[in-house]
Structure 1
Amino acid sequence: MATNKLNASYTLKVDQIFEKKGWEMEPEKDLKISLYNKYIDRLRRIPDDTRNLFLELTERFDRIELKEITSLFFDAYENIDSKILNDAKKIYFLPLVQPEISSNSKSNGKNNLVKAWFWIKNIFSNNSVDRPKNKSGENILAIVENAEYRGLNNSSKFIFPQSFSKFKSVFNKKTDLLILVDDFVGTGDTADDVIQHFFKSSKFNSDNTIILSLVSLKQGIESIFKKRNVKVYQAAIKERAISDFYDTKKEIEENISKVKQMEIELKCEPELSLGYKESQALISIMNKSPNNTLPVFWHETKNIPAPFPRRKIYNK
């Protein structure tokens, strides 16, 4: 993957974008830790005729930092129908993650997801915190629990359970409200799996369960409501960066073609072309991009860091 020369006009445009967005400009720092240098490096590695599009997409890219989490959570919460909150006797918050695994699940040592659920099951048996530590919803809740949230409507009803088994035993399906929290809802697939799991219990249904997300894709909101009749509330709703943004079919096709040229040059994973299920998101939250985001922004290798990575593990 060779780097190409970058003329001064591109560098000037990058500087303008970074200044407008308030992103740190630290060209003196090492490539692996400088957002600015990682971005310039990425711009050099894509074909010249795709760079203007990359810059344009960057202008619409949302980089949500830690300091913004609380205010976005509050904004999303305030968008919840007031009647739902007023009618609830207690309001429980849990991360949007499956809290249990079925007893007939088997781990053969090859499926990391299955092994993770077995790890969670062991936590349940020890009566400990029933949440994976690295789950985004867990991080959001940890921040909110330590914030000053008493100004929110019905905050006196808030409960942040530390044990799912205990929560499940005291939850009243007729009077209480469950709010499942995540930082981002993409296609809605993950949320649907979690809701389906909750709804296996007679205690939970679409009348007492909602989802709260900092940001959601429109397609995910619609999918969850269509499949489960569950409402999603968020601070911001996003659409597909290309297919829902440009006016004509020709523009859409040309720009999708350019993004795919970038992906080929960067050797992005073909199965995640244009983001998971082609969801075409433009977002990074707390220094991590969801796989819904266009991979040209987050795909990286051991020696070639990305400006908005998905993970901190380099195995390629």
Structure 2
Amino acid sequence: MTTNNRLIDQTKIDLIDTIVKRLKHVVGHLQIRNWLEQFDYSEWDLALKVLNGLEYFDENDLFQLFDTGLKDIHKKINDFERAWEISLKTAPGDSKIKQVEKRNARNLRRKGHNEVQILPLGNNGKSGSHMLYYILHAPFFKKSNFQILDNKEKIIVNNFDNFLHLILVDDFLGSGDSAYKYINNEIYPILDELGVHKVRIYLLCSFFMEGAKKNITKNAYYNTIQIIGTPRIPAFSPTGSPFGYRPSMVKVREFCYKYGKGLYKVTDYDAKSPITTDYPLGYKNTQSLIVFAHTVPNNTLPIFWSIAKGWNPLFPRVIFARLKDKVNLNKESRIWISMANKLGRFSFFKKNTYSDKNIKLICYIRLLKMGTVGTVISQKIGISLFEMEEIIEDGISRKILKNHRTLTNKGQAMYDLVMRKRPRISSGSTVMKDDIVYIPKVFRGRT
């Protein structure tokens, strides 16, 4: 490690400017400077080079990616079913029995295929379940006949003579291990018990590593699985690395490996004797360079997200996982509701003032205005995404919310007025930690 306050030249400052803009200002100059201080000063150019290769994706990006993915799947389903219907046409050599079977199957097909069913990849609380938020609000989903199921036990089959189209959703496929294991151990037994033999599975994600695709294809029970997402290659791939040709790439890889050692270790407790493996370049050496607004995959280089060994990360994963004290959030929401009513200009919360529904709605609005992404809001409030959708619909019906991300003019006026009046009305009460707001003199380059 190096000492603080190293000089930084204009070239580095300009590069940091570019990086801050490309990362959509989620980190600033000071954070990057503090992160740099952990490396040897002579290696700052390498640190900035690898940081410049990082990709950050916010909520808008995910909405677009999942919407595009749903359209792609819809086309694939239609193309497959057209081809299947053509294959059901009788041929001159078909026996009368076979002709009758084909005719019956074709008639059933024309009555409509099974509804396309969407499931999170993994159990509740995993990243797949949070991705349903983006599916629910994807424009294409709203006009499709696709059906979302919140757990695998709700899989239904209306017609065993037609294919069941099952979409499993996750944010990112890194190694592919969790995907094929979930399909083999959780999905296959249910479909087998239901007697479903005609099934096509689509893995819908934002991005997937090429290694994950090979792993899933090799190990998954079903051989017709299709991965719908944008492919990515390892950061230090011999071909196509963002860090240039091999001599340049190897130098960056050795740098990341040196500082990544010990930052991410995984212990396999299923082995006869527990085995701990160090992954300095991400889980199973995935070498990912992806960060999301709601989390950081453990496949991404640990120098960006680990807190092990006192490391100071740019995107700590624990921040995304650490939930606020729900009791404190509820208490503060009660104060907000009381203030809105005292102001006397709004009737949003007059009925059943401190009901569970009102408190959750205020919690949602407060977290939304703090810039919290939808998938994290549900975690902080402690509700499922489907319960959160009910809250959003309630807010829209009361004309507080315009949609899932925007307040109406009246809703915004209420929020602004409470924010302005809050210190005076709540004088004498305990000030919540979140009420202490630091306003920098310069933000995103503006004064």
Normalising by structure 1, we get a TM-score of: 0.73
Which residue does 1:273 correspond to in 2? 280
- 1:300 aligned residue (290, 299, 307): 307
Paired position in structure 1 for 2:188: 199
1:263 to 260, 263, 283: 260
Is residue 61 from structure 1 mapped to residue 54 from structure 2 by the alignment? yes
Cα distance change on mapping 1:261 and 1:303 into 2, 3 Å: closer
Candidates 222, 233, 242, aligned match of 2:236: 242
Rounded Cα–Cα distance in structure 2 between residues aligned with 1:274 and 1:206? 40
Q: Which amino acid aligns with 2:283?
A: Y
The answer to whether the 8 Å contact 1:173/1:208 transfers is no
The change in CA–CA distance for 1:137 and 1:3 in structure 2 (over 3 A counts) is farther
Q: For residues 282-306 of structure 1, what are the alpha-carbon distances to aligned partners after superposition, in whole Å with 9 as ceiling and x for unaligned?
A: 0011241111100011112597542
Report Cα offsets for 1:137-196 as digits up to 9, x if no partner. 211112321343357xxx532001235323256685832200000010001111111111
Q: Sequence identity of aligned pairs in percent?
A: 23
In structure 1, what is the Cα distance between the partners aligned to 2:130 and 2:66?
A: 12
Aligned AA (2:201): T
2:291 to 284, 293, 297: 284
Matches within 5 A, 1:154-173: 155-168=143-156, 172=160
Return the structure number with greater relative CO, CA threshold 8 A, min gap 6: 1
Q: What CA deviation, in whole Å up to 9, does each residue of 1:205-229 have, x standing for no partner?
A: 7942120111111111122123222
Hey, what does 1:30 align to over in structure 2?
none
CA 1:2 to 1:76, structure 2 compared with 1: closer, same or farther past 3 Å? same
1:143 aligned onto 2:134:
yes
Structure 1 residue 47: Cα displacement: 2.1
3-state secondary structure, aligned to 2:36:
helix
Describe the SS at the equivalent of 1:241. Answer: coil
What's the TM-score, normalizing by structure 2?
A: 0.53
Amino acid across the alignment from 2:18: Q
Contact 1:173 1:204 (C-alpha < 8 Å) held by counterparts: no
SS in 1 for 2:168: strand
Count of matched residue positions in the alignment of Structure 1 and Structure 2: 265
- In the TM superposition, residue 277 of structure 1 has moved relative to its aligned partner by 1.1
SS in 2 for 1:224: helix
Structure-2 residue corresponding to 1:119: none
- Label 1:36 to 1:61 Cα distance change in 2 as closer, same or farther (>3 A): same
Deviation at 1:6, TM superposition (A): 4.5
- The answer for unaligned runs of 5 or more in structure 1 is 26-33, 98-130
Give the aligned partner of residue 109 of structure 1.
Answer: none
Matching of residue 78 in structure 1 with residue 71 in structure 2? yes
Partner residue in 1 for 2:212: 220
Across the aligned residues of Structure 1 and Structure 2, the Cα RMSD in angstroms comes to: 2.9
Cα-to-partner distance string for 1:43-98 (whole Å, 9 max, x where unaligned): 1211234322322222221111122221110122333372424535311110111x
